[in-house]
Amino acid sequence: MAVNTEAKGRVLVITLDRPEARNAVNGDVASGIEAAIDKLENDPELWVGIIQSSGTVFCAGADLKEVSAGNGRALSTERGGFAGLVKRERTKPLIAAVNGAAVAGGCEIVLSCDMVIAAEGARFGLPEVKRSLAAAAGGLFRLPRAVGTGPAMEMILTGDPISADRAYQLGLVNHVVPLDGLAQAALDLADRIVVNAPLAVRASREIAVNALKLDDAELWKMSAAASKAMSQTEDFKEGPRAFIEKRDPVWKGR
């Protein structure tokens, strides 16, 4: 299979598995990622997702052989867009664990995630202009939001990649770790999230995702609605109770 999944506790690990093609996105990858996100979203026992890859490259973007053969539409899904992901509406956090190059559509997959752990040798880039293409899977507007206009313009207009350390300096990457610790570092971050109340995590994520898209008036409304919704849950009562009783909370997600 081009995409494999494995549940590790409350974390779903999604692995791109086309190393012979540098994990380039074809129809199987797009449908596989969409199915994996469906599994993450629909299973109440899964609270966080990680997307990683096998081999030495995270993802080289679109499979140009498929594009040249006229199969470009197969690289997208109706709900998710390119790779079954870049346009997908989600409620649960998704972490990218990046080894090697994440370029073109591979970088756009990363930009679709909520957090990024990068191996020391990872690289990020949108080289489309070098091929007379446009990064049409969200990179041209998500990258400026992630790293700022100036650095994003340099990456977009030169097509040159940046290192993991530079990506960390710019705020695109949360942590840079040795390659042999990449998978564990991503799991460690996921575990730090799943100890928290899942409904509160999802509500907080939704507002943060919209922070650079909506005006303050709308964000105030969303924040008030989230606070009201949390107050009506069982977990809202469990949090203070666990604190008073000096024990770890037992979240039910309701």
66 catalytic per annotation: no
φ, ψ of residue 199 to 5 degrees: the values are -70, -35
Catalytic residue (one of 78, 108, 234, 238): 108
Distance between terminal CA atoms of the chain? 35
Label each residue of the chain as H, E or C. Answer: CCEEEEEECCEEEEEECCHHHCCCECHHHHHHHHHHHHHHHHCCCCCEEEEEECCCCCECCECHHHHHCCCHHHHEECCCEECCCCCCCCCCCEEEEECCEEECHHHHHHHCCCEEEEECCCEEECCHHHHCCCCCCCHHHHHHHHHCHHHHHHHHHHCCCEEHHHHHHHCCCCEEECHHHHHHHHHHHHHHHHCCCHHHHHHHHHHHHCCCCCCHHHHHHHHHHHHHHHHCCHHHHHHHHHHHCCCCCCCCCC
Q: Based on the number of CB atoms within 10 Å of its own CB, is 150 exposed (0-12), middle (13-18) or buried (19 or more)?
A: exposed
Give the HSE-up count for residue 200: Cα atoms under 13 Å, Cβ half-sphere. 18
Catalytic residue (one of 45, 128, 154, 245): 128
128 catalytic per annotation: yes
Active site residues: 108, 128
